[in-house]
Amino acid sequence: MSAVGGVGGIDRVMALRAQILERNAALSRAGAAPAAGPQSASANATSFADTMQTALAKVNDGQQKASALAESYERGETVDIAKVMLARQEASVGFEATLQVRNKILSAYKDIMSMPV
């Protein structure tokens, strides 16, 4: 029975990885697409902000879920250690992905600011 839980956990991790790769590809496509005009640029900025806010909320939810599971396990409640470890890894992957997006945004900002006018 634990092997079935392990396979499901691997599937969730692989799905999370695929989601990260998909977002990375979407960010690459968004960076390569030229803006059509001022209205389009402001609409994209709002959309990007909403996307980032949603992504940050999901990462925060994942970290809170992992903390809650860990606390339950530490209190001695009936919680599978594999579930706790998987939640911790998912939270870690989400945080690392968010950190990488932040680094890319800062790098792009620095590149833009260093461009001659």
**Residue 81: inside a domain, yes or no?**
yes
Q: Is the pLDDT of residue 4 over 70?
A: no
**Residue 61: inside a domain, yes or no?**
yes
Domain count, the chain: 1
The stretch 13-23 carries a mean pLDDT of: 79
**Residue 68: inside a domain, yes or no?**
yes
Cα Rg, the chain, nearest whole Å: 19
pLDDT tens per residue, range 60-115: 999 999 999 999 999 998 888 999 999 999 999 999 999 999 999 999 999 999 98
The residue segments making up the domain with residue 66 are: 2-27+46-113
**Residue 41: inside a domain, yes or no?**
no
Higher pLDDT, 56 or 38: 56
**Residue 34: inside a domain, yes or no?**
no
**Residue 37: inside a domain, yes or no?**
no
Angle, helix 2-32 to helix 38-74, in steps of 10 degrees = 160
- Say how far apart CA 78 and CA 67 lie, in whole Å: 15
**Residue 35: inside a domain, yes or no?**
no
The stretch 18-29 carries a mean pLDDT of: 77
Instruction: Give the per-residue pLDDT at 8.
Output: 67
Instruction: Give the per-residue pLDDT at 112.
Output: 92
Q: What is the mean pLDDT of the chain?
A: 81
